[in-house]
Structure 1
Amino acid sequence: MKLLADLIFDSPPLSLFFTIVSLFLLYTFTKKNYSRNNTHLPPHPPKLPFVGNLFQIGSLPHQSLNSLSLKYGPLMLVYLGETPYLIVSSSDMAEAVMRTYDLNFASRPPSAASDILLAGDMAFGPYGRIWRQMRKICTTHLLSSKNIHSYKTMKEEEIGYMMQEIKNQASLSNGVAVDMSKILYSFANNIICRVVSGKCFRDEGRSDLFRELIEENVAILGAFSISDLFPSLACMEGIFGLSGKSKKHKIRWDKLLDEMIELHVQRRVCGQDSDIHEDFVDVLLSLEKDPEIGSNLRMENIKGLLLDMFAAGTDTTYIALEWAMSELVKNPNIMTKLQYEVRRMVGQNKMVTLKEATKMPYLQAVVKETLRLHPPGPLLLPRQSMEECNINGYTIPKGIRVLVNFWAIGRETKSWETPYEFKPERFIGSEVDYKGTDFQFIPFGAGRRICPGMNFAASTVELALANLIHQFDWELPYGMTADDFDMKEASGLTTRKKEALRLIPSVKLQLMDKF
């Protein structure tokens, strides 16, 4: 999310806009206000006219909202401009929203940016028949257990490429720290590109284009829009909002996706796909002709689903790996313990396979602890109530937007001992998992809106991390201590490290060219 203050001060048109907006202040006192109409609403911090609680939200909203919830409770209202949001900051309240009243909160609120950029997609689409069809397509034809297993060789090949890239850069850098953020991002993107489109774009020099497009997605979808904050001023969205930027970005994505789809169409027409593994684009094109599905699967749906896969699939994997490696170099005793498990099980002269990674409990505990302390999406994607309901004695109005703050839930003292400490041992012997039934640990969400790609992402992170730890020893840049190591988060829809992860790898085992 982008700070409103930053928008105002950095943009002369927005300064003019807020001068004009002052004329609307009288109107805001007469429009519908939930807190005046209902005395049983959840508590909320004092707010200013028109702007609400915007100036209490810093550049890292999940942290600002957590601080407010500690004072006003785990079920709290905040007003972002004119728009009220229900903030959920405890496992109990999350269970009420995502289990007890899951159907009621299964929809997404409209958003100026996502409505343009992701029209017809699954992640941001409203709940209903079309959304259920899109989700079924993803879970059945891309992210089922059978399909995830079929990606085994592909994942292992890409990890082989990454290991060789690290080895090459370590040799060339002669002891200078390597930019692991860039390497991890390329790895995550290459895997998802191969799964979705049948090939990665490493050899075409287009990896940088994908990264640019995905990072712009994060920036646009994580920013406030004028019409989202001030619905009464939606007519000004085209002048001062994100609509123009979203449309330009959409054109760039359309060009890339149209080209990708056309190549698949031509391949099918020419009968060149008989010996080629069917990818997600092929599946979508074949389903477009299905009499039961095709009527709901328009080209905008196909593009929306592809964009979902590229963006979410890349970011989740990359961010989890970046934070896992950061915590391991900051906690060398944990690194040593993990290396012992991996190297003892696998041996000296081979790479870790997916089957072996699934048998490493400490590896899985490290990944889970990373997701608890550094969730890629600290504020789960917003929901919207479809009907009025009652939670914990409070009336929750119809149409209110809901944000579940998993960053806060992952630090809840009643659920986690020493919650700010990176301690994988807490998951050893524990049945707590990320499948959506343990509400103190929901990095992928829960209920109808749980992320369908969680098993794909988690298995990819486990396999990549096992090989990184197995094949190399890792050190901080020369002269840097664990206390100096920067663990600050970047602002945005997802929480990457603010500073790129730079580490010194040293090869301790012989790399194999192939599995």
Structure 2
Amino acid sequence: MEVLSWGICLCVILVGVLLRAVVGRLRKLNLPPGPRPWPIIGNLNLIGSLPHRSLHALSQKYGPLMYLRFGSFPVVVGSSVEAARFFLKTHDICFVSRPKTAAGKYTTYNYSDITWSPYGAYWRQARRMCLLELFSAKRLESYEYIRVAEVRALLRGLFESAGTPVLLKDHLSTVSLNVICRMVLGKKYVDRSEAAAIVSPEEFKQMLDELFLLNGVMNIGDSIPWLDFLDLHGYIRRMKKLSKRFDRFLEHVLDEHNQRRRREGDEFVARDMVDVLLQLADDPDLDVKLERHGVKAFTQDLIAGGTESSAVTVEWAISELLKHPEVLEKATEELDRVVGRERWVEEKEVHRLPYVESIVKETMRMHPVAPMLVPRLSREHTTFDGYDIPAGTRVLVNVWTIGRDPSIWDAPEEFRPERFLGSPIDVKGHDFQLLPFGAGRRMCPGYSLGLKVIQLSLANLLHGFKWRLPPGKKAEDLSMEEIFGLSTPRKVPLQAVAEPKLPAHLYTA
């Protein structure tokens, strides 16, 4: 009995020493500055309905590298070019994983997509598939005819509505959705003209809006896990409902594609990205087997990512131009000079329109689709600028704040496309002053497609129409408020009037 008592005492002493060592290490950590957290909720009380703006305000007080606690989890927020470069390039491999969230679990087939899947063999394989198969330059070039046809359909639809106010986002979402559906799915499954349409265009757009909203909300269970079962905001219930709606659609798509594969047998040739994914799923040499739910998760990712970014960016661009008619006039002058008034703008000549390209960049600076990049997760302990960033820390990069940094941008709150004329700054992930698509290994794999659709759509909208606000509305009255999600669209959809200015036969051809 005496030996047992001594053993227990020795264990207690050892545990005490270990605890003191752990506490001592924690005390020695030089964490970045930040507000003092509250018990249980941490700093969640400081985050409003527009988290990127809340974090921007905090960064003005605590600096470009902040340490916060969201409930039970440590969070570091980078709001400078140097911090972005550290997280997305210098130590990209340390921050390449993703935190576990309800959105990843319930809306992406348990983290089976490209966006939310954690770092590992599955994600590395997914990235290779995107770069080498789905978004290769050759494949995107082969789909140019689709982008041209759908942009022409957009112009034709606006011509038919000439002189009357239209909700521009509806038209832009339609062209983006049709482009991506034809490229990814092989046809416009949500078009009313398709006999096999399983959802209406309106329903599908609503599903996409809900997907982006729910992937960007601050679900309380993601920060305080023991409250997750309560679903206090009802987000998980909505995620599960949305997942069922998408799954019904995606099952239909995969069934149709597999039927054609069986029907054509050895003569089968892949026509779209779903065909490519299904072929890859059959490849016995894949490092990780691509299951059916993985194909559905990838397909959903491709559709959502390709639709939202283009429509949101072009709507913000037209909004800014309506508030700045002098910029609109300069763009019109460039288009008339370079393209003339007898034809439409072609993809291959966008590079000859530096002012239009500058409008796109300036729009992305002021209104990035994702003002905070999708959260990353620190895989190991690192230090930046003398501060410790422990393993397991969630990392946010606030590109909205970087886009408004007065040390980088002259008059950052003003819409000035001229700042990009002659500037080497681009949006391809190499210049950390402008990161609309992110950077590093987790950069949006379809950014080149999104950029093509944005530039082609905007150039032709400006070339083909005179734009004005509805009667009785003044430019200074145009609201520029936003709503937050995984993307950040206008709070009030833009209503505008488009007046055709080119020969009528161009719109109807």
Regarding TM over 0.5, the answer is: yes
Equivalent residues of 2:221, 2:231 under 8 A apart = no
**Secondary structure of 1:264's partner?**
helix
Aligned to 2:184: 196
Deviations 1:57-77 (A, max 9, x none): 111110110010011011101
Whether the 8 Å contact between 1:225 and 1:237 is mirrored in structure 2 is no
Q: 2 CA distance for matches of 1:240 and 1:419?
A: 36
Q: Which amino acid letter does the alignment assign opposite residue 100 of structure 1?
A: T
- Pair 1:210-2:198 in alignment: no
1:181 aligns with 2:173: no
- The 1-side partners of 2:394 and 2:336 are apart by 48
Deviation (angstroms), 1:242: 3.7
Whole-angstrom CA distance in 2 between matches of 1:207 and 1:469: 26
Q: How many residues align?
A: 479
Compared with structure 1, are the counterparts of its residues 495 and 34 closer, same or farther at alpha carbon in structure 2 (3 Å cutoff)? farther
Q: Do the aligned partners of 2:155 and 2:507 also contact (CA within 8 Å) in 1? A: no
**Residue identity opposite 2:239 in structure 1:** S
Deviation sequence 1:337-394 (CA, Å, 0-9, x none): 1111112222212111111223211111111111111000000000000001111101
Letter in 2 for 1:50: I
SS in structure 2 at match of 1:86: strand
Alignment of 1:494-513 (within 5 A): 494-511=487-504, 512=506
- The answer to whether the aligner puts 1:95 opposite 2:85 as a matched pair is yes
Residues 124-273 of structure 1: pairs in structure 2 closer than 5 A? 124-170=116-162, 175-200=163-188, 201-202=190-191, 203-204=193-194, 206-234=200-228, 236=229, 242-271=235-264
Partner of 1:75: 65
* Residue in structure 2 matched with residue 25 of structure 1 by the alignment: none
Find the aligned partners of 2:270 and 2:339 in 1 and give their Cα distance: 30
Normalising by structure 1, we get a TM-score of 0.89
Amino acid aligned to 2:114? M
CA contact (8 A) 1:157 1:514 kept: no
- The answer (yes or no) to whether the contact 1:387–1:398 under 8 Å persists in 2 is yes
Displacement of 1:80: 2.0
Contact 2:314 2:454 in 1 (8 A): yes
Counterpart for residue 19 of structure 1: none
What residue in structure 1 maps to residue 34 of structure 2?
A: 44
User: Which residue, out of 324, 333, 339, partners 1:331?
Assistant: 324
Q: Find the counterpart in structure 2 of residue 384 from structure 1.
A: 377
Question: Structure 1: which 4+ aligned runs deviate by more than 3 Å?
Answer: 32-39, 237-244, 272-277
Match of 1:374 in 2: 367
Greater mean deviation of Cα atoms: 217-226 or 387-396 = 217-226
Give 1:35 shift. 11
CA distance in 1, matches of 2:79, 2:67: 11
Question: The residue matched to 2:321 in structure 1 has which SS?
Answer: helix
The CA distance in 1 between the partners of 2:239 and 2:164, in whole Å, is 39
What residue ranges of structure 2 are gaps of 5+ in the alignment?
A: 1-21
TM-superposed CA distance for 1:227, in Å, is: 2.5
Q: What is residue 29 of structure 1 aligned with on the other side?
A: none
Residues 220 and 232 in structure 2, CA contact (< 8 A), matched pair in contact too? no
**Aligned mates of 1:358, 1:500 — CA distance in 2:** 30
Counterpart Cα distance in 2 of 1:358 and 1:34: 58
What's the secondary structure of 1:439's corresponding residue?
coil
Matched, 1:355 2:348: yes
Indicate conservation of the 8 Å contact 2:427/2:436, yes or no: yes
- Distance (Å, rounded) in 2 between the aligned partners of 1:400 and 1:272: 50
* 1:492 Cα deviation from its structure 2 partner: 2.1
What are the equivalent positions in structure 2 for 1:23-34 lying under 5 Å apart?
none
- Residue 212 of structure 1 aligns to a residue whose secondary structure is helix
Structure 2 residue identity aligned to 1:177: P
One-letter code aligned to 1:212: Q
Larger Rg: 2
Q: Does 1:425 align with 2:415?
A: no
Instruction: Kindly indicate whether the alpha-carbon contact (under 8 Å) linking 1:226 and 1:237 is maintained by their aligned counterparts in 2.
Output: no
Q: Which runs of 5+ in 1 are unaligned?
A: 1-31
Q: Give the C-alpha shift of residue 425 in structure 1.
A: 0.9
CA distance in 2, matches of 1:40, 1:353: 54
Give the equivalent residue in structure 2 for 1:303.
296
Evaluate the alpha carbon distance shift between residue 293 and residue 275 of structure 1 in structure 2; reply closer, same or farther with a 3 A threshold.
closer
Deviation at 1:195, TM superposition (A): 0.9
CA change 1:505–1:103 in 2 (3 A) is same
CA shift digits 1:311-356 (9 cap, x unpaired): 1111110111110111111111111111111122222121111112
Change in 2 beyond 3 A, CA 1:296/1:80 = same
**1:296 deviation in Å?**
2.2
Equivalent position SS for 1:358: helix
- Counterpart of 2:69 in 1: which secondary structure? strand
How much has 1:283 moved relative to structure 2? Answer: 0.4
1:393 aligns with 2:386: yes
State the distance in 2 between where 1:337 and 1:197 align: 39
The whole-number CA distance in structure 2 between the counterparts of 1:367 and 1:226 is 35
TM-score under structure 2 length normalisation: 0.90
- Offset, 1:81: 2.1
Shift of 1:231: 2.5
